[in-house]
């Protein structure tokens, strides 16, 4: 089972989608594409309705059955923690971390895609896992960087690279295990992060499942936030008229105010970020395995069958959006004729009950990035004509080099 990541593979899917009468079609013998908005919503709801985490490997080795843990328990622990973390102080610190990382690259010719990635991941990491020593944090970051490079690079890399990747992944997993164990035993302080509620679930989860859960958050912050930030930079750099509109709005706004009601605090910036996420939704494809039988009208999925979902395909479908390829944040104004037909058409954060838990913080972060670009820095893109958007695991700006300076 391979995930199509290569641009040719994704372009083939785009062609198949245009030829299909609706958004549901067989990609090959193994995979069904479910790119129709309502079908994607229904299949996600049915598939994960009572999703339970198993500990198959350990159960097999120990010849026992571990206690059932519902995924909804894990999600509710995360969401409670995120709610507690949504304070002005925490958001202020997130924005400070973003600015520190950008300040450190001032006046240098940098790869703006990698810079965006760094800004997003390094500033979010303490939210996922904090209180690490410098060595531990470096290792976890290196693991996330290597995972991302494998996803964005068209080159599969040598066997040596692969071995290094696996070694770093194992060592980073050991760091997570150590942190969870030491917090549970009181040898390390509890921290206000997304790993912390998992310490309380350790007796039910066991260490292997707990590691999977923390790794899920780390992987989630390691990919989409950085590519989304790069796409914000990409559209910002290409559109002087929107730079002006954002600057007019953001000059008088404290970014900490994005925390409570982003559309009220900075409506133009909020629409800009929403439109970037519509056009350039990461990841391009979600590969899922059905857990229940599912009837899609003209075809059926049996438990164990693979299917593909894609916010990107839905956002670019002219059957559900008017002029989908046009960049126009004002389509999100109430009553705009080319706006979303209904809520199922705009899904940058996926579908309930597996919808992204970090959606709010992600929007705050991207709006804060716009704020920094309008109020603190001046962005210069070198050779703008050479910048292109490549479709890899996510849309990724390529040949995107430039420089930041203080205003």
Nearer to ligand HEM, 201 or 356 (CB): 356
Query: Which residues are registered as beta bridge partners of 377?
Result: 406
Strand partners, 402: 110, 381
| Minimum CB distance to ligand HEM smaller for 72 or for 380 | 72
- At its nearest, how many Å lie between ligand HEM and the CB of residue 397? 15
Question: Minimum distance between the CB of residue 74 and ligand HEM, rounded to whole angstroms?
Answer: 8
Which of 311/397 has CB closer to ligand HEM?
Answer: 311
> Closest approach of Cβ 61 to ligand HEM, in Å?
26
Residue 356 assigned as binding residue: yes
Answer yes or no: are the C-beta atoms of 151 and 392 closer than 8 Å: yes
Nearer to ligand HEM, 125 or 237 (CB): 125
Nearest Cα residue to 218 out of 335, 137, 289, 153: 137
Q: CA–CA distance from 278 to each of 97, 128, 322, 388 (Å)?
A: 26, 26, 13, 18
Tell the smallest beta-carbon distance from residue 338 to ligand HEM (Å). 22
Instruction: Return d(Cα 142, Cα 198) in angstroms, integer.
Output: 23
Closest to ligand HEM by CB, 62 or 355: 355
192 contacts 173 by C-beta, under 8 angstroms: no
Residues that bind ligand HEM (CB under 6 A): 44, 75, 124, 127, 216-217, 220-221, 224-225, 228, 282, 286, 311, 348-351, 354-358, 361-362
* Comparison of 277 and 387: residue with beta carbon closer to ligand HEM: 277
Total residues found in the chain within this entry: 407
CA distances from 344 to 36, 142, 184, 329 (A): 9, 36, 41, 18
Contacts for 71 with CB less than 8 Å, ≥ 6 apart = 48, 51, 52, 53, 353, 354
Given a contact cutoff of 8 angstroms between Cβ atoms, the answer to whether 381 and 112 are in contact is yes
Residue 70 or 376 with smaller CB distance to ligand HEM: 70
Question: Cβ 125 to ligand HEM, closest distance in Å?
Answer: 10
- Whether 194 and 220 have beta carbons less than 8 Å apart is answered as no
Minimal distance, residue 358 CB to ligand HEM, in Å: 2
In this structure, what DSSP letter does residue 356 have?
A: -
Least gap, CB of 128 to ligand HEM (angstroms):
6
d(CA 304, CA 291): 6
Please report, in range form, the residues annotated as the binding site. Answer: 356
Please report, in range form, the residues annotated as the binding site for heme. Answer: 356
């Amino acid at each position: 089972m391979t995930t199509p990541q290569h641009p040719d593979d994704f372009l083939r899917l785009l062609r198949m989608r245009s030829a299909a009468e609706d958004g549901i079609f067989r990609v090959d013998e193994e995979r069904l594409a479910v790119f129709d908005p309502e079908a994607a919503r229904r299949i996600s709801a049915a598939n994960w309705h009572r999703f339970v985490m198993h500990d198959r490997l350990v159960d097999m080795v120990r010849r026992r059955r571990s206690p059932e843990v519902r995924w909804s328990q894990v999600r509710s622990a995360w969401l409670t923690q995120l709610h507690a973390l949504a304070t002005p102080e925490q958001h202020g610190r997130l924005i400070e971390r973003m600015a520190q990382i950008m300040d450190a690259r001032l006046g240098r010719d940098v790869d703006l895609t990698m810079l965006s990635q760094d800004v997003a991941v390094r500033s979010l990491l303490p939210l996922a896992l904090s209180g690490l020593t410098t060595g531990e944090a470096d290792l976890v970051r290196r693991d996330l960087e290597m995972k991302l490079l494998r996803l964005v690079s068209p080159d599969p890399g040598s066997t040596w690279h692969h071995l290094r990747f696996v070694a770093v992944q194992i060592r980073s997993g050991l760091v997570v295990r150590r942190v969870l164990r030491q917090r549970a035993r009181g040898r390390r302080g509890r921290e206000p992060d997304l790993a912390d509620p998992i310490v309380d679930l350790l007796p039910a989860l066991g260490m292997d499942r707990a590691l999977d859960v923390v790794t899920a958050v780390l992987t989630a912050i390691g990919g989409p936030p950085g590519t989304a930030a790069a796409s914000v930079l990409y559209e910002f750099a290409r559109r002087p008229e929107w730079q002006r509109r954002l600057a007019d709005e953001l000059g008088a706004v404290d970014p900490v105010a994005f925390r409570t009601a982003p559309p009220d605090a900075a409506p133009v910036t909020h629409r800009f970020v929403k439109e970037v996420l519509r056009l350039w939704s990461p990841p391009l494809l979600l590969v899922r395995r059905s857990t229940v039988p599912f009837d899609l009208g003209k075809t059926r999925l049996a438990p164990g069958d693979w299917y593909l979902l894609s916010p990107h395909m839905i956002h670019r479908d002219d059957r559900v959006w008017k002029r989908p390829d046009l960049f126009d944040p004002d389509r999100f104004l109430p009553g705009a004729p080319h706006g979303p037909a209904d809520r199922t058409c705009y899904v940058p954060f996926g579908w309930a009950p597996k919808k992204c838990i970090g959606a709010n913080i992600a929007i705050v972060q991207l709006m804060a990035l716009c704020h920094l670009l309008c109020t603190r820095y001046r962005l210069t893109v070198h050779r703008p004509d050479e910048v292109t958007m490549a479709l890899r695991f996510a849309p990724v700006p390529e040949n995107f080099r430039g420089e930041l300076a203080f205003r």
